[in-house]
C-alpha cells in the first residue's frame, strides 16, 4: 500500500507542472454540470410536473451510466487518457447546447413531451460521460505523485465546490421567484458555454503514458478476483451504502424544501451554502489528509451525516422548525462532509488499487458505487410517491413521506460508519487523533501565528 503519512506539508512545487490546468478544468466543468445535474435541472423538471419517481430517475441517471466504464476501461490505454476523456466531454457539451432549446419549445410541445425530451438528452449526456470517465481517475492517479494526492484532491474539491456555489448563486438570480421558461433556457446555455471553456483547459492537462493494453491472449478480466482483493473489497463495501444514502439526500432535500413552500430562488441560495461547506473542507483537511489518512475522516464524516439526516427527519416530522438558520447549518455540514468523503474515498482507492490492472480496479469501484448511487434515488422516489400525502403521529413525530425518507437515509449512514471502521489503512491515525488535530491543535497553531504577527 502506498504510504505518505510521515511527510510534511507538501510544497506547492511538489505538484506536477501544468496541473493548474486540471484545477481550471474542474472549476469551469463544475460551473457547467451543477446546472444540468443539480438543483436547477431538478427544479425545471418539477416545473414540468415531474413526480418524485421521475426526479429520482433524473438524479440517478448519471451515476447509473457510469456502468459503461466497465467496457470502456479496456480501450483507455489504446486511445490515451487525454484523447479519451476529451472526446467524451466534448460530446456531452454538445448535448447541453440542445438542452438549452427545450424550454423554448413550450409554444408547440406540451410539458410532458418537454420532460421526456429533456430526459432523453440527459441520457445522451450521461452516456458519453459514463464512457469517458473511465479515463479520468487513472489519468490523475498516474499524473499526481502518491505523496501529494490528498493535497491535490483537497484543492480540487475546493475548486469544484467554489464553482458549484457560484453556479447556484447565478442560477438563483437568473431564475428569480417565478421563473419563466426562457430563464431556464439562458441558464442551460450558460452551462453549455462553461462546458466549452472547460474543454480548452482539459486539452492542456499534461498527458501521461497509459499502461500498455493487454493482448487478447491475456484472457478475460478477473473481476471476481479483483473484488475479493481484501483492502479493495472493504473499501467498496463501505462505498456502496454511502452512495445509496448520498444518492438521494441532496436531490430530495431540494424537493422537500420546495414542498415546504420555498421559492426556486430561495432554494438555490440555500443550496449554495452546501458548496460553501465543501469549500471549507480545504481548511479542515487540506494537506493534512496525506498525514492523517482516509479511514478516520470517513468514520467521522459518516457520523456527522447520520446526525444531519436525523435533524432533517425531525424537521420534516414537525419536531424542529424548518427555519433558515437550521436549513443553512445542515446544508453547510452536508457540503463539508460530502467533500471529505469524496476526497478520502478517492485517495484511499488510489492507494489500495494495485498497479497491475489499475484501470479495471478504478472502473469496478466507480461502477459499483455509482450504480448504487443511481438506483437509490429511484427507490427513494418510489418510497416518497408510495407514501404520498399519508401522515401519522407516533412517538411525537409526524411520520410522512419526507420524515420516513430522511430517517431511512440516516440508518444507512449508521451502517456506513460500522463498515468504515473495518477499512484497512494501517498507518492512518486514530479517530481521536483526527479530532485533536482538527479541533484543537490546528486552531491553536493558527492563534499562535496570529499572535506572532501582532
Answer yes or no: is pLDDT of 302 > 60. yes
Domains with residue ranges and CATH for the chain:
19-211+222-453 (1.20.1250.20)
User: What is the arithmetic mean of pLDDT over 338-360?
Assistant: 80
Q: How confident is the model at residue 211 (pLDDT cuts 50, 70, 90)?
A: low
Q: Return d(Cα 124, Cα 341) in angstroms, integer.
A: 28
User: What is the arithmetic mean of pLDDT over 410-431?
Assistant: 81
Answer yes or no: is pLDDT of 381 > 80. yes
Q: Return d(Cα 281, Cα 210) in angstroms, integer.
A: 31
Answer yes or no: is pLDDT of 444 > 70. no
Q: How confident is the model at residue 113 (pLDDT cuts 50, 70, 90)?
A: very high
Backbone angles phi, psi at 281, to 5 degrees: -60, -25
Per-residue pLDDT at 398: 85
Place of cell 424537521: 315
DSSP label of 105: G
Angle among Cα 428, 433, 435 to the nearest 5 degrees reads 120
| Strand segments (E) across 104-179 | none
Answer yes or no: is pLDDT of 441 > 60. no
Burial class (CB in 10 A: 0-12, 13-18, 19+), 432: exposed
Q: Which of 435, 359, 430, 372 is nearest to 238 (CA)?
A: 372
3-state helix, strand, coil in the chain (%, to 5): 80, 0, 20
Per-residue pLDDT at 168: 85
Across 104-113, 270-279, 418-427, the highest mean pLDDT is recorded for: 104-113
- Are 278 and 337 a contacting pair, CB within 8 Å? no
Per-residue pLDDT at 287: 60
Residue-wise pLDDT tens digits, 141-194:
788 887 777 778 778 888 888 888 888 888 888 887 778 889 999 999 999 999
Q: How confident is the model at residue 434 (pLDDT cuts 50, 70, 90)?
A: low
| Tally of CB atoms within 10 A around 449 | 9
Residue-wise pLDDT tens digits, 124-143:
999 998 888 888 878 887 88
Q: How confident is the model at residue 210 (pLDDT cuts 50, 70, 90)?
A: low
Instruction: Compute the mean pLDDT over every residue in the chain, rounded to the nearest whole number.
Output: 81
Cell numbers representing residue 433 in the block: 487523533
Q: Which residue has the higher pLDDT, 25 or 212?
A: 25
User: What is the arithmetic mean of pLDDT over 33-61?
Assistant: 86
Residue 122 vs residues 117, 149, 199, 263, 445: alpha-carbon distances, Å: 9, 32, 19, 25, 48
Place of cell 461547506: 277
Q: How confident is the model at residue 123 (pLDDT cuts 50, 70, 90)?
A: very high
CA atoms within 13 A on the CB side of 114: 24
Answer yes or no: is pLDDT of 116 > 70. yes
User: What is the arithmetic mean of pLDDT over 248-266?
Assistant: 83
Amino acid at each position: 500500500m502506498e504510504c505518505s503519512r510521515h511527510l510534511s506539508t507538501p510544497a506547492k512545487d511538489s505538484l506536477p507542472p501544468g496541473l493548474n490546468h486540471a484545477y481550471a478544468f474542474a472549476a469551469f466543468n463544475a460551473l457547467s454540470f451543477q446546472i444540468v445535474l443539480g438543483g436547477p435541472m431538478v427544479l425545471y423538471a418539477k416545473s414540468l410536473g415531474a413526480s418524485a419517481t421521475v426526479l429520482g430517475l433524473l438524479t440517478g441517471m448519471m451515476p447509473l451510466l457510469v456502468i459503461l466504464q466497465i467496457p470502456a476501461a479496456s480501450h483507455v490505454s489504446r486511445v490515451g487518457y487525454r484523447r479519451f476523456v476529451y472526446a467524451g466531454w466534448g460530446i456531452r457539451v454538445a448535448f447541453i447546447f440542445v438542452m438549452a432549446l427545450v424550454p423554448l419549445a413550450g409554444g408547440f410541445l406540451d410539458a410532458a413531451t418537454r420532460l421526456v425530451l429533456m430526459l432523453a438528452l440527459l441520457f445522451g449526456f450521461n452516456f458519453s460521460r459514463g464512457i469517458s470517465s473511465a479515463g479520468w481517475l487513472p489519468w490523475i492517479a498516474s499524473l499526481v505523485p502518491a505523496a501529494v494526492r490528498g493535497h491535490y484532491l483537497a484543492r480540487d474539491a475546493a475548486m469544484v465546490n467554489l464553482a458549484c456555489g457560484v453556479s447556484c448563486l447565478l442560477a438563483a438570480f437568473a431564475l428569480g421567484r417565478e421563473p419563466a421558461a426562457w430563464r431556464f433556457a439562458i441558464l442551460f446555455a450558460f452551462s453549455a458555454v462553461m462546458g466549452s471553456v472547460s474543454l480548452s483547459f482539459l486539452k492542456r492537462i499534461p498527458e501521461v503514458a497509459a499502461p500498455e493494453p493487454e493482448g487478447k491472449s491475456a484472457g478475460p478480466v478477473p473481476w471476481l478476483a479483483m473484488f475479493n482483493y481484501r483492502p479493495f473489497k472493504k473499501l467498496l463495501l463501505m462505498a456502496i451504502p454511502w452512495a445509496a444514502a448520498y444518492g438521494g439526500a441532496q436531490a430530495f432535500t431540494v424537493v422537500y424544501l420546495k414542498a415546504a413552500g420555498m421559492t426556486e430562488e430561495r432554494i438555490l441560495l440555500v443550496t449554495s451554502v452546501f458548496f460553501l461547506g465543501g469549500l471549507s473542507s480545504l481548511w479542515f483537511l487540506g494537506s493534512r489528509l496525506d498525514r492523517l489518512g482516509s479511514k478516520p475522516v470517513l468514520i467521522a464524516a459518516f457520523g456527522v451525516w447520520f446526525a444531519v439526516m436525523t435533524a432533517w427527519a425531525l424537521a420534516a416530522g414537525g419536531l424542529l422548525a424548518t427555519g433558515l438558520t437550521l436549513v443553512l447549518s445542515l446544508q453547510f455540514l452536508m457540503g463539508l462532509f460530502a467533500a471529505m468523503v469524496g476526497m478520502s474515498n478517492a485517495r484511499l482507492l488510489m492507494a489500495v488499487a494495485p498497479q497491475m490492472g489499475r484501470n479495471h480496479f478504478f472502473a469496478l469501484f466507480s461502477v459499483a458505487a455509482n450504480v448504487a448511487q443511481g438506483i437509490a434515488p429511484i427507490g427513494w422516489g418510489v418510497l416518497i410517491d408510495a407514501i404520498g400525502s399519508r401522515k401519522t403521529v407516533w412517538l411525537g413525530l409526524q411520520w410522512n413521506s419526507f420524515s420516513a425518507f430522511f430517517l431511512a437515509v440516516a440508518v444507512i449512514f449508521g451502517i456506513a460508519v460500522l463498515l468504515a471502521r473495518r477499512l484497512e489503512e494501517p498507518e492512518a491515525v486514530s479517530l481521536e487523533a483526527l479530532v485533536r488535530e482538527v479541533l484543537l491543535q490546528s486552531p491553536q497553531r493558527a492563534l499562535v501565528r496570529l499572535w506572532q504577527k501582532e
